[in-house]
């Protein structure tokens, strides 16, 4: 058989193939053919995958489903972390965390751009980025030995991007920042002013970096040419007092080109009885409550703190106008319908699809304190995060 120059196939033909690949394994097989195919997949991932397919559920081993801080464990057939695709729950994938991740002091702060943000060692001063699928790690400079308690972290871009910053939040009026894209990255302490305290979530939206505090104040962050924080005068959002800012603070998410804020509705402690969604009207600088997401759904989790949206969920068996929530103590996730304001709980058993679904009044019994791990979280593999100018 004559040699076929597979790397020279037209991009339009390859894109047509990509749109028809049914599973995650097929996508990775496509990326493994050659560098040009991998480049095409990365450059089109946001259009072909991130916007049209649900995230994966990173699920801890069954014996770690306790509500307490536990280390990441090496994945094996008996006790490894598993990745579930919502369109095929019968075929879990393996998450290959290395054995070195089993240190008793590991703490997971968040998930961002395909990586878990971990703190390792005593007193948790060694930041590590761990790929959720392969377990590959990116080691970063040690933090100053200040013995502070970090509660949230995020990447402003994929780690290979030259403008990527790792942000770690630990106090009311300051954060730590490391510019990963620099030849010799170092940690810098950046100040926050009064009214900018306790950042709950950070989101890059239309080339701007937005942040929301635990009391619903909206901010913008800039890092070039110097660090700058601006508080935006936005009305219409009145979140209830958060008894657990680590897990149930306000969320920011992009959905259908709109910037949304998601609030958990609480009645007493520790009951979560509903979810409210708001859209930011940039013309009026006002949050307006959203009753319908149209043909979209949202994925929220308390461990990864990286909410995402999905379009046309019926194509993989999901529901529109629904919020999928993963939280500590959940076997898999719970669903909240914005249509009829009801909860459903989903439990995944090994080898089975959905083993039970029942009406559920969410009662996440969270304790005050630092984030707990492990917890089911929504993730996308790092392969699907790519920005123009990054090396392939």
Domain boundaries, the chain: 51-384
Q: Residue 282: count other Cβ atoms within 10 Å of its Cβ.
A: 12
> Of 19, 47, 41, which is closest to residue 29 (Cα–Cα)?
41
**C-alpha torsion angle, residues 367, 368, 374, 380 (rounded to 10):** 120
Q: Residue 306: count other Cβ atoms within 10 Å of its Cβ.
A: 25
Cβ atoms of residues 273 and 267 within 8 Å? yes
Q: Considering only 324-338, 339-353, 358-372, which range has the smallest mean pLDDT?
A: 358-372
- Structural tokens at position 359: 């009406």
Residue 201 confidence (pLDDT): 92
Measured between alpha carbons, how far is 380 from 299 in angstroms, rounded to an integer? Answer: 12
Output DSSP code: residue 235. B
Q: How many CA atoms lie within 13 A of 312 on its CB side?
A: 7
- Structural tokens at position 150: 């970090």
pLDDT surpassing 50 at residue 389: no
Give the sheet arrangement for strand 82-85, strand by strand: 88-94, 82-85, 56-59, 377-379
Measured between alpha carbons, how far is 101 from 82 in angstroms, rounded to an integer? Answer: 15
The pTM (predicted TM-score) of the whole model is 0.83
Residue 112 confidence (pLDDT): 94
- Helix (H) / strand (E) containing 35: helix 35-45
Highest mean pLDDT of the ranges 33-47, 139-153, 169-183, 250-264: 250-264
Higher pLDDT: 280 or 100? It is 280
Residue 23 confidence (pLDDT): 66
> Of 332, 316, 304, which is closest to residue 113 (Cα–Cα)?
304
Residue 8 confidence (pLDDT): 75
pLDDT band at 292 (very low <50, low <70, confident <90, very high): very high
Cβ atoms of residues 356 and 347 within 8 Å? yes
pLDDT band at 173 (very low <50, low <70, confident <90, very high): confident
| Region of 312 on the Ramachandran plot (φ > 0 left; ψ -120 to 50 alpha; else beta) | left
> Of 318, 355, 354, 312, which is closest to residue 337 (Cα–Cα)?
318
- Look at strands 322-326 and 296-301 and give their pairing: parallel
Measured between alpha carbons, how far is 307 from 285 in angstroms, rounded to an integer? Answer: 22
Residue 21 confidence (pLDDT): 72
> Of 301, 290, 377, 389, which is closest to residue 339 (Cα–Cα)?
290
Q: What is the mean pLDDT of residues 320-327?
A: 91
Higher pLDDT: 119 or 51? It is 119
pLDDT averaged over every residue in the chain: 77
- Structural tokens at position 59: 């699920």
- Structural tokens at position 87: 């369109």
Cβ atoms of residues 343 and 361 within 8 Å? yes
Q: How many CA atoms lie within 13 A of 166 on its CB side?
A: 28
Q: For the domain covering 51-384, report its CATH number.
A: 2.120.10
Higher pLDDT: 358 or 144? It is 144
Q: What is the mean pLDDT of residues 312-319?
A: 88
Residue 51 confidence (pLDDT): 63
**Residue 301, SS3 per DSSP:** strand
The per-residue pLDDT for range 70-105, each reduced to its tens digit, is 333 333 444 577 888 887 777 777 777 654 444 445
Q: Computed over its alpha carbons, how large is the radius of gyration of the chain? A: 21
Measured between alpha carbons, how far is 313 from 377 in angstroms, rounded to an integer? Answer: 18
Q: Residue 350: count other Cβ atoms within 10 Å of its Cβ.
A: 10
């Amino acid at each position: 058989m004559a040699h076929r120059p597979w790397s020279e196939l037209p991009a339009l033909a390859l894109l047509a193939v990509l749109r028809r690949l049914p599973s995650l394994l097929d996508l990775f097989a496509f990326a493994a053919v050659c560098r040009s195919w991998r480049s095409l997949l990365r450059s089109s991932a946001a259009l072909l995958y991130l916007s049209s397919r649900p995230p994966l559920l990173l699920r801890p081993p069954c014996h770690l489903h306790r509500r307490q801080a536990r280390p990441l464990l090496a994945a094996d057939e008996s006790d490894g972390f598993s990745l579930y695709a919502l369109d095929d729950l019968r075929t879990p994938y393996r998450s290959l965390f290395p054995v070195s991740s089993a240190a008793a002091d590991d703490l997971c702060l968040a998930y961002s751009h395909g990586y878990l943000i971990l703190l390792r060692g005593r007193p948790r001063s060694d930041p590590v980025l761990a790929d959720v699928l392969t377990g590959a790690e990116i080691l970063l400079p040690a933090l100053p030995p200040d013995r502070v308690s970090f509660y949230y972290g995020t990447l402003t871009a994929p780690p290979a991007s030259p403008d990527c910053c790792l942000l770690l939040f630990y106090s009311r009026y300051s954060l730590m920042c490391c510019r990963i894209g620099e030849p010799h990255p170092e940690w810098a302490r950046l100040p926050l002013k009064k009214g900018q305290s306790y950042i709950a979530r950070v989101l890059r939206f239309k080339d701007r970096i937005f942040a929301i505090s635990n009391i619903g104040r909206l901010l913008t962050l800039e890092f070039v040419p110097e660090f700058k924080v601006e508080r935006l005068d936005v009305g219409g959002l009145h979140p209830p007092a958060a008894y657990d800012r680590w897990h149930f603070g306000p969320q920011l998410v992009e959905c259908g080109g709109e910037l949304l804020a998601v609030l958990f509705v609480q009645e007493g402690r520790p009951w979560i009885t509903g979810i409210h969604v708001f859209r930011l009207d940039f013309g009026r600088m006002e949050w307006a409550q959203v009753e319908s997401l149209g043909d979209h759904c949202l994925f929220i989790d308390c461990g990864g703190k990286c909410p995402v949206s999905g379009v046309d969920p019926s194509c993989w068996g999901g529901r529109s106008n629904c919020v999928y929530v993963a939280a500590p103590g959940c076997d898999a996730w719970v669903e909240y319908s914005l249509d009829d304001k009801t909860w459903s709980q989903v439990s995944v058993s090994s080898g089975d699809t959905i083993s039970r679904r029942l009406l559920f009044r969410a009662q996440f019994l969270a304790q005050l304190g630092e984030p707990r791990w492990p917890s089911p979280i929504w993730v996308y593999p790092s392969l699907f995060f790519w920005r123009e100018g990054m090396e392939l």
